[in-house]
Chains A and B, each alone.
Chain A
Amino acid sequence: MSILVIAEHNHQSIKPVTLNVVAAAKVLGDDIHVLVAGTDCQGAADAASKIDGVSKVLKSDAPELQKRLAENLAPLITKLAESYSHILAPASTFGKNVMPRVAAHLDTQQISDITKIIDADTFERPIYAGNAIATVQSSDAKKVITVRGTAFDPTAAEGGSASIEDVASEGDAGLSSFVKQELSESDRPELTAAEIVVSGGRGVGSEESFDMLEKLADKLGAAVGASRAAVDAGYVPNDYQVGQTGKVVAPQLYVAIGISGAIQHLAGMKGSKVIVAINKDEEAPIFNVADYGLVGDLFDIVPELTEKL
């Protein structure tokens, strides 16, 4: 049977993580369909049709799908699921919100946050903040899966020429409605897709001092991340949080500044290719995972580093 990927998009274009999920789908089979559910989402559907390896795009265009409310989206995915063996979405807040609802409708035990596909029924997923890796085999007829984007190299955004088919929405469930959103605006790369991430922790000390990290990030073309402590203290918004219960990143270079290296933080960045740690406490656990540790005061080191780049 075919595989259905639920695209994450902003109606006009496809979010990069969708390419990682298609890459995971390719391991499972070669008839890959992508659902683009939104409002005035022709742009996103066109983009999805160009993804390498996609054979069909299902476009569901309706006002009640604009804000991705799980109550409206899950019935649509559930209905489409009939024709598919595997239904995949990114393990982003979008996928995490909607997919368990689909799984419950299908009486299926979802497999969350997979990092490896062994065969059509068997998957690896991190548990306990990534301190153990479980290999699980599903006995359900259909698999409902969320995919950890960083574990699969993205497929090419161009090269495909899939057909686009319209599918009807299941309507407005009338259970929830959108009020407002406050999105963080930034010209920097998206945290989970960035080649370089500069992250700050409690040691940075204030919202103002985070400017220092932003300057360094701009020099490096990097995204800015943070520990939970920095978010809780209000230095940066919640969407900067890297870790077990925040975002998982795996850039080429991760620079941890004033971060101690709690297991919950390591869970979100241990997969980075190269890790730099800047911390004044030479015993800080972050040094155990760092390729290049620099012991010292971040208020001296960060400006010097920015200056010398």
Chain B
Amino acid sequence: MKVLVPVKRAVDYNVKIRVKSDNSGVELNNVKMSMNPFDEIAIEEATKLKEAGKVIEIIAVSIGPAKAQETIRTAMAIGADRGILIETDAPTDIGGVEPLAVAKTLKAIVEKENPDFIIMGKQSIDDDSNQTGQMLAALLGWSQGTFASEVEIADGKAIVTREIDGGLETIELKMPAIITTDLRLNEPRYASLPNIMKAKKKELEVMKPEDLGIDFTPRLSVVSVNEPEERVGGGKVADVDELLDKLKNEAKVI
């Protein structure tokens, strides 16, 4: 089976971001960027399925700037066989390429590549949208297994355990299917040096949105981006008695 794994270049999860002084967005110059963590989990899962003999080819796809090639190379160092970059200078966090446009782009790639299924992240940690996988499933008319903590592919079906608000739910999906990853699906490996070297030689195709006929014009215009209200904390109490006293008599919450 052939699997497609969309991977997004996003701010590294350890970065404390700053809002741009003109309130037009978030400052990404000279900020560490990495693969969106949920996409790392996706590529790890695809790689495991390949190691288990269920997958023969993994294609990593990214929509983003030229530098997103690094993200694709990282995916290759974990296990992707080849990569496709749809290159754009439009922002991919906000006010640029939105989830609907990403889903349409991925649909065009699916139509060229005919994968048997897709594994992708549940959420980008920059735009926090949690939309693209579900949208792509709708556009393709495919089934979806979102927020997966366990995936089993067998007999032309996918059995997916999902992390839901009440606990866990298991569903069966007809293939082709889209699976989106949650945190407990696996622990992504660190790429080894030889695999990083090998990744440099793998095939990486670069395309433009125009090649696919996709319109990236955003539907949501950014009015402004602001810092959240700062929470004033830092208060301390000496012991349990003082804590109880404050909660009862000052905060009046117990």
Determine chain B's interface SS by DSSP, over half rule.
mixed
- Do the beta carbons of B233 and A289 come within 8 Å of each other? yes
Interface size grouping (class) on chain A: 35 or more
Residues from chain B with a CB closer than 8 A to the CB of A140 are 219
- Do the beta carbons of A136 and B222 come within 8 Å of each other? yes
Chain A, range 163-220, C-beta contacts under 8 Å to B: 174-184, 192, 196, 220
- Do the beta carbons of B143 and A109 come within 8 Å of each other? no
- Do the beta carbons of B131 and A103 come within 8 Å of each other? yes
Residues from chain A with a CB closer than 8 A to the CB of B221 are 136-137, 139
Known: A253-B251, A292-B237. A179 touches B159 (CB 8 A): yes
Interface window among A22-30, A46-54, A125-133: A125-133
- Do the beta carbons of B128 and A292 come within 8 Å of each other? no
Residues from chain A with a CB closer than 8 A to the CB of B183 are 228, 231-232, 245
Residues from chain A with a CB closer than 8 A to the CB of B218 are 109
Interface size grouping (class) on chain B: 35 or more
* Distance between Cα atoms of A98 and B130 in the complex (Å): 11
Residue in chain A with minimal CB distance to B122:
A245
- Do the beta carbons of A293 and B135 come within 8 Å of each other? no
Question: Of the candidates B149, B234, B253, which one forms a contact with A274 in the assembled complex, judged by CB atoms under 8 Å apart?
Answer: B253
* Distance between Cα atoms of A128 and B142 in the complex (Å): 29
- Do the beta carbons of A137 and B144 come within 8 Å of each other? no
- Cβ of B17 under 8 Å from chain A: yes
Known: A101-B135, A139-B221, A305-B240. A182 touches B167 (CB 8 A): yes
Q: List 11 A-B contacts (CB under 8 A).
A: A93-B163, A96-B130, A132-B228, A134-B222, A135-B223, A136-B94, A176-B145, A178-B170, A276-B247, A291-B251, A309-B244
Binding site for B on A (CB under 8 A): 67, 69-71, 74, 92-94, 96-105, 107-113, 118, 122, 126-140, 174-184, 192, 196, 220, 228, 231-232, 237-239, 244-245, 247, 252-253, 263-264, 270, 273-276, 287-295, 301, 304-305, 308-309
